[in-house]
Chains A and B, each alone.
Chain A
Amino acid sequence: MESHCLKRPTRRQFLSSVAFAALAGSAGGAVARSISGEPPWQSGAADPPIQVRPGGWMFFTADEVSTMEAVVDRLIPADELSIGGREAGCVLYLDRQLAGSYGASARLYTAGPFLPGLPTQGYQNAETPDQRYRLGIASLNAWTRDNKDGKRFAELSGDDQDAVLKDLEAGKIELPNKVNAKAFFNLMLSGAMEGFFADPIYGGNKDMASWRMLGFPGARYDYRDHVSKHNQPYPLPPVSIAGSTEWMSR
């Protein structure tokens, strides 16, 4: 393997065998290079996900955690089918997502001007998901304080929480700080569902609870022995990218 600074590249350099010629460095680790002679292969080039470990909060404050735990437990209630959103780790999932590139809209187009759009044009505001959660949760609690006997959302009864969430979903509540109630509800709903149904490595879907509930086998990747078994239940429990709880010693 050869490496060249190609400020003034030569034909020889470009044609060198298996040349991983770093044209220049960059902050993101993505570096332009010239490749010829072989398909490149480097050990350690694979990029597996980093497993979320519980413990501490990286984005949410304690007050935000209690609000979000109440929300996800109403969206995904505990019942005979599965554990609820709180126990499944949906808030932990969201915390780590919001502390990461998702929270900052790092992969999206965020240049202005920001103009009000039509529904067919999608989200057109400048706020990133981390800002939307911060302001949205505060606005939700401000609204319940003003309209529900000074209580925070988490302090309401389950039925009252459901009623508030339904009104948010329908856009019947006007939240302070110009927060769009419907849009904020949809943001929380999609976040909770992602956490509940994503691979457990991201902090939610504890013990693959949602996958067991549905009968989704997860990361198994080979169903050739079952494809012709029409209308017959698949016999094996799910596995995660990180493995299966069944494989671990108890």
Chain B
Amino acid sequence: MNRPTLIILKTAVWIACLWPIGLLVYGAFTPNGLGPDPTARIEFSTGYTTLMLLTIGLGITPVRRLSPHLNWMIKFRRLVGLFAFFYGTVHMLAYVALYAGFSVQTMLDDIAKRKFITMGVATWLLLVPLALTSTNWAIRKLGGKRWNLLHKLVYIAVICGVIHYWWQVKPGVILPLPFTIAVAILLLARPIQTALLKRKAKAAASGRQVVQRPG
């Protein structure tokens, strides 16, 4: 991919990622701009966007592996991941300010009594180390292997996020279902793709040489 195309794509991704928060900020300064229940709108929109970006981020690797021409997608993974953390943080701060009213007691009560809030906090906490180690410096410092291992935490985080959504909705409401399916497919795609690649490599290897090496 050439440089101008990359710049255009990056700009487009930045605009797309800023769009949801832009709508909220615009709505906040317009009469009735956030609808009848602004608190719920802010909380839902930021939470939904977090899950959406986490799911998209999770999709980059399996999609990229489909073709060598898609390798450029990796250049967007950090951006998408950091935006997911940004929306998750706004989501959490909106809860602290608009739901708990900055009351520590209310927050502790919620975390102790309400499992969907406990799960939400857990999700955010899992994302913190990932955001902190997102710089090139951190990757060098940790070494690629350890960094990769640490960033596997995102799998747990996204699962926690989906569970958080299920526990928050009324019994019988199936809004979190599309996310659940997408995340399940994207997580299962990884071992399946790895197994397929191994088999391909094996077939190629056995075609070339008779002696099979162990492993």
Partners in one complex: no
Interface of A toward B, CB cutoff 8 Å: none
